[in-house]
Amino acid sequence: MAPIVGRRGVFTMQQCNCRASAALAILARQGDNHLYAPQAPHFLQFPKSACHAVVPRRFPVTIGHMKKRIFTSEAPAAIGPYSQAVRAGRFLFCSGQIPLDPKSGEIVSGDIATQTRRVLDNIAALLRAEGMTFDNIVKTTIFLTNLADFQTVNEAYGSYFKQDLPARSTVQVSALPREANVEIEVIAMAAEPQQTAYDTSG
C-alpha cells in the first residue's frame, strides 16, 4: 500500500493522489489493503476509479456532525413551522409536546394526570424513532398553566423514568398552545459516541 503523507491536516495517498476532506486520524494496516478513518469528522472524498485497487469497497467513516429532521406518525404532527425533533450528532432535541392524540390531532380528554401521560407517550414515540428511551434523556423542561398541578404531574412524570434521572426545569406560564395545561420538551443523548456510515459504491 502506498504511504500516507499528511500536511496541515490533509492526508494524501501518493499512489492515486486521493485526498481527505478534513483532518483525519488514519490507520493504514499493511498487508491487508485496508484503510480506516475512525476519527473522521466528515465524509472522505476518494475518486472511485483511482482508488479501486487501493481502498476496499466497504470501509467505515464516522459521522460526527450531522443534522437530521425527525418525523414519526406515532407522535402528533407539527402544527407550525417546526420539526417534531431534530437529531444533531449524539443529541436529540424534541419540540415541546402537548397532550395531542397522534391520530385525531385533538387534545385528549381527562384530568391533568391523563394529559401528562399522553405528553410523555408522545415523547416516547420521538425517542423510539431514533432508537432511544427515557434513559437517554439528559434534560427536560415542564410548562404548566397552573403550578397547583405540579404534584400530580410529577407523579406521572416519575413513573416514566427508571434510572439516571435527567436535569429538569418547571415553569408556570399564562397559556399554552391549543389551551393545553401541560407541555414538556426534552433533550436526549444517544449511548453510542457516533454513528458509522459505510461507502459501498465500489
Domain definitions of the chain by residue range: 4-62, 67-189
- Which has the higher per-residue pLDDT, 64 or 21? 64
Distance CA 102, CA 13 (A): 52
Residue 78, CA distances (Å) to 33, 39, 98, 118 in order: 49, 36, 11, 16
SS3 182: strand
Q: 98: which residues sit within 8 A by CB, 6+ positions away?
A: 76, 107, 119, 176, 177, 178, 180, 182, 183
Is it the case that residue 26 has pLDDT exceeding 90?
A: no
**For residues 187-200, average pLDDT:** 69
For cell 475512525, the residue is 38
pLDDT at site 79:
85
Predicted confidence (pLDDT) at residue 90 exceeds the cutoff of 50: yes
What does the pLDDT read at residue 38? Answer: 45
Q: Provide the percentage of residues in the chain whose pLDDT is more than 70.
A: 62
Q: Pick the residue with more confidence: 64 or 176? A: 176
Domain topology for 67-189? 60s Ribosomal Protein L30; Chain: A; (3.30.1330)
Average pLDDT, the chain: 78
* Cell 427508571 -> residue: 162
Q: Are strands 60-63 and 195-198 parallel, antiparallel or unpaired?
A: antiparallel
**Quick one: CA dihedral 183, 189, 194, 199, positive or negative?**
negative
